[in-house]
Amino acid sequence: MPDALITEREGRVVTLINNDAPYNRMTLDFMDELEELVPKLARDASVGAVVIRGAGDEHFSVGMNLKQLGEGTRRKGSFEGVLDQRLRVISKIERMSKPWIATLYGFCLGGGLELPLGCHFRLAAQDGAQIGLPEMDLGTVPAWGGSARLARCVGRDHALDMILRAKKISGPEALRIGLVQEVWPNDELQARARDLAHELAAQPSGAVAGVLDAIVGSGALSLEEGIAAERRAVVATFGTKENQEGIRAFLEKRAPVFYPENDSSPDSDT
């Protein structure tokens, strides 16, 4: 059996590939391997950003393999155990202190949208993408946090329109409503995701972690609590080697270099 999850590494960027082409269903093995890998990536200071995609160039993912529901219930002890694992994994991705990027192309349906909704950046293909939460057609509702995250991402009205009508939208439409940050020609999408990942991975890791905590981690907090989270991030990054390099670069009118090629790991005090 081929690996359900393929890991590729290029400098400070890790690319994860759901290896179930062409539809890249999020199988039980894929979720088990992803759940095991996510905390390792979180702890690895040499990883600065993560890209997640499907194998091949046809589809990102059609979501869960529904034929595995019975097996999943046996493995996890209950149907709710299956759901709990997927909610747990997406939440850990969302709250990680380093950015995740998902590339949306072809079918991005059900869990194939809910997992990207937990990522910090979403890039879509210009043509052929079908992005949606069509669970209404199955007589049920999104099960992996899709309703809440979609509403937070695009607003109540767009979320209701997509979910209650089981709509599948294109990449350009996803950009229009704020579901994705960028749209690219299909043959440029993966390269753009890698370039963005390298750009983000080159940023000071302590400051990136602080921004993610202040913006993502404080999403359900009051304004005052969000500002407090931001203040904690400022204090935590002040005076670090990354902070010192950024200030030197500004004063010297040059681009900062936080991770020289011969030293890609963040300093221990960041």
Catalytic residue numbers, as ranges? 114, 135
CA 98 from chain center: how many Å? Answer: 10
The verdict on whether omega for the bond into residue 22 sits within 30 degrees of 0, i.e. cis, is yes
Q: Distance of CA 136 to CAs 110, 122, 165, 166, 249, Å?
A: 10, 24, 7, 6, 53
Can you list the alpha helix ranges (DSSP code H) found in the chain? 28-43, 69-76, 79-94, 111-117, 146-154, 156-164, 171-177, 189-201, 205-212, 223-237, 241-251
Q: Is the Cβ–Cβ distance between 226 and 199 less than 8 Å? A: no
Q: In what order do the strands lie in the sheet with 130-132?
A: 107-109, 130-132, 168-169
113 is written with which tokens? 């949208």
Amino acid at the residue 51: V
Query: Rounded to an integer, what distance in angstroms lies between the CA atom of residue 201 and that of residue 219?
Result: 23
Q: Which residues of 183-193 are buried (b: 16+ CB within 10 A; e: fewer)?
A: bbebeebbebb
Q: Measured between alpha carbons, how far is 204 from 243 in angstroms, rounded to an integer?
A: 8
DSSP state of 252: T
